[in-house]
Amino acid sequence: MIQIKAKQQNVSFEKNVEKLAFVLSAHLYNTLDSSKVIEEAAKRSGISEGVIKAAWDAAGEVIRTWATEGHNVPLPGLGSMRFGVRSKSVQNVEDVKTSLITARRVIFTPSKEVKDELLDTKIAITCYDKDGKIVKRVTSADDNTIEDENENENQGGNQNENQNGNGDNSGDNSGDGDGDNQDPVED
């Protein structure tokens, strides 16, 4: 189950103006150590931890090398990875230089299988008010619709409506601007 937290916070861009809204984000428990991943992979595969670690390290080197050479590198069972840049634009070719690059980044594109598994995974949302108090819990059903604990009290309406009431969750700028529409995820 994917754990999501919805924290009530000020979303106003105006000074001294409070506009509260619930902002959703993934609840991450912690970052797993790579040795834990290697240990679990060894258990599931029947291969020794030493062999798994050697293969893991070698694959990491290959992926880094090929990605930095400009390749979109497949990550079996996960998707693919490539490097990209963010940069300023200029109108004259004479002004093109490396200082226009504002960020180097990693672009991960999940496989169809990972995307499908993510869609099939149930979601639990815990809502917190601005003081950190839990005010609501919501869980998803198997059909990916969001259910409310107080379903009988909240009949009707668009379940996808946002704070503005328009059902639009715009503002997604996760794309990398190269027009490939591969749903990249940045790290």
Read off the pLDDT of residues 145-157 as tens digits, 9 standing for 90 and up.
Answer: 545 444 444 333 3
The label of the residue with tokens 């200029």 reads: 90
- List pLDDT tens digits, range 25-56: 998 878 889 999 999 999 999 999 999 999 99
Residues 27, 126 contacting (CB under 8 angstroms): yes
CA 105 to each of CA 87, 149, 150, 175: distance values in angstroms, whole numbers, following the listed order = 11, 41, 43, 12
Those residues whose C-beta lies under 8 Å from the C-beta of residue 158, and which sit 6 or more positions away, are 167
User: Which pTM was predicted?
Assistant: 0.58
The label of the residue with tokens 């059909």 reads: 143
**Residue 118: is its pLDDT beyond 80?**
yes
Per the prediction, the chain carries an average pLDDT of: 80
**Residue 163: is its pLDDT beyond 60?**
no
Q: Helices 34-45 and 49-68 sit at what angle, rounded to 10 degrees? A: 120
Segment 165-172 long-range contacts (CB within 8 Å, at least 24 positions apart): none
Helix (H) or strand (E) holding 63: helix 49-68
The pLDDT value given to residue 31: 86
